[in-house]
Amino acid sequence: MKRVYNFSAGPAVLPEEVLKEAADEMLDYGGSGMSIMEMSHRTKTFDKVIQDAESDLREIMNIPDNYKVIFVQGGATTQFAAVPLNLMSKNKKAAYIETGNFSKKAYQEAKIFSDNVRIVASSKDKNYTYIPDCSSLAIEPDDDYVYICENNTIFGTKFHTLPNTCGKPLVSDQSSCFLSEPVDVSKYGVIYAGVQKNVGPAGMAIVIIREDLIKDDADLQFPTPTMLRWKTQIDNGSLYNTPNSWSIYVCGKVFKWIKAQGGLVAMKKRNEEKAKILYDYLETSKLYKNGVEKDSRSIMNVVFTTGDADLDAKFVEEAKKCNIVSIKGHRMVGGMRASIYNAMPKEGVMALVEFMKKFEKENLQ
């Protein structure tokens, strides 16, 4: 068996211990004689899986009691619609901060429902290589929420200071930084994340919602499909219909793995160490450039390029021969991208930097 260093942005690397455990339990989960995939979601056994997943997540993130947690299908992108559908009140107004492709898509989705959605800050002018100053935004008194994509998976940037929302609820897409470091949940109205970046198998999102923002059906401003109403999911413990039981099960294992590693404080320390190895090298390199402003750098997605598309393609090809895979940058940016999520070991980052040094020596004219 060969395992590679997988730098994919998502679906992405998962902890080997978790994969082995899942493999061991594949034919017989906890003496049930079947895999979790084959089991009714209405069983006591599955109920314990989802309950444990939620309580472990609450413990890891220190989620206050006045926040609900739901496991929903359709990935992060479905939440682009769920956010305006569930949060907009009479004037249907919201402020979006545009820091890349995913926040732009979320904005465009909200525009389907209302013309009163605005971009109040953007880093489009420099191809999303920085996080704009959000200390004094044009928030209006009747804005329902302020929206950010906290870590920009494609562009390799991250909010290190949350925007000043003038008291409005902050909605954050944390897909690619979820559980990578401690966060103060109480600063947010809603946090959501597609799980396939840092937590588990694709096809599911975790949504964390402050209780006072949850609307009764009668208060929704739009004809909202039952499945997209957060309240439906909350009232039914994420089991209104058949959930993505496999994803919930693996996420639950990853939460236990994070706890065993020392929680989010330990995750942060490891992730910063890994990112520093890469960024320190990039700063000294004569071949590679990382165009992101230093105070906007992501510690999850590190982008770099040689500045020459052919040489970048050669890099990707040769890296593959050294077991370094899925390192090609997103088509919107080009170059390379190393996604170094929680489950990427430090050895993987060191192997990447060794390869980069060798490639630099061989290809620097």
Interface residues with ligand PLP (CB under 6 A) are: 10, 75-77, 102, 149, 153, 173, 175-176, 194, 196-197
Relative to beta strand 190-194, strand 204-210 is antiparallel
Position of minimal CB gap to ligand PLP: 75
Residue 244 or 305 having the CB closest to ligand PLP: 244
CB of 107 to ligand PLP, least distance (A): 12
Number of other residues whose CB lies within 10 A of the CB of residue 161: 10
Residue 96 or 102 having the CB closest to ligand PLP: 102
CB of 154 to ligand PLP, least distance (A): 8
CB of 193 to ligand PLP, least distance (A): 8
Residue 103 or 221 having the CB closest to ligand PLP: 103
Half-sphere exposure of 284 (CA within 13 A, CB side): 8
CB of 180 to ligand PLP, least distance (A): 12
Beta bridge partners of 94: 117
Residue 246 or 323 having the CB closest to ligand PLP: 246
Report yes or no: 180 and 268 within 8 Å, Cβ to Cβ. Answer: yes
Nearest-angstrom CA–CA distance, 96 and 46 = 38
Beta bridge partners of 72: 205
Residue 157 or 176 having the CB closest to ligand PLP: 176
Residue 75 or 156 having the CB closest to ligand PLP: 75
Nearest-angstrom CA–CA distance, 205 and 332 = 24
For residue 32, give every residue at least 6 positions away whose Cβ sits within 8 Å of its Cβ, in sequence order, or none.
39, 45
Nearest-angstrom CA–CA distance, 37 and 209 = 28
CB of 83 to ligand PLP, least distance (A): 12
Number of other residues whose CB lies within 10 A of the CB of residue 62: 13
CB of 201 to ligand PLP, least distance (A): 11
Residue 72 or 319 having the CB closest to ligand PLP: 72
Residue 153 or 224 having the CB closest to ligand PLP: 153
CB of 250 to ligand PLP, least distance (A): 15
CB of 133 to ligand PLP, least distance (A): 21
Relative to beta strand 336-339, strand 324-325 is unpaired
Q: What is each CA distance from 329 to 24, 147, 312, 345, 353, in whole angstroms?
A: 35, 26, 9, 20, 16
Nearest-angstrom CA–CA distance, 279 and 287 = 13
Instruction: Give me the sign of the Cα torsion angle 214, 216, 217, 218.
Output: negative
Amino acid identity, position 113: F
φ, ψ of residue 47 to 5 degrees: the values are: -55, -40
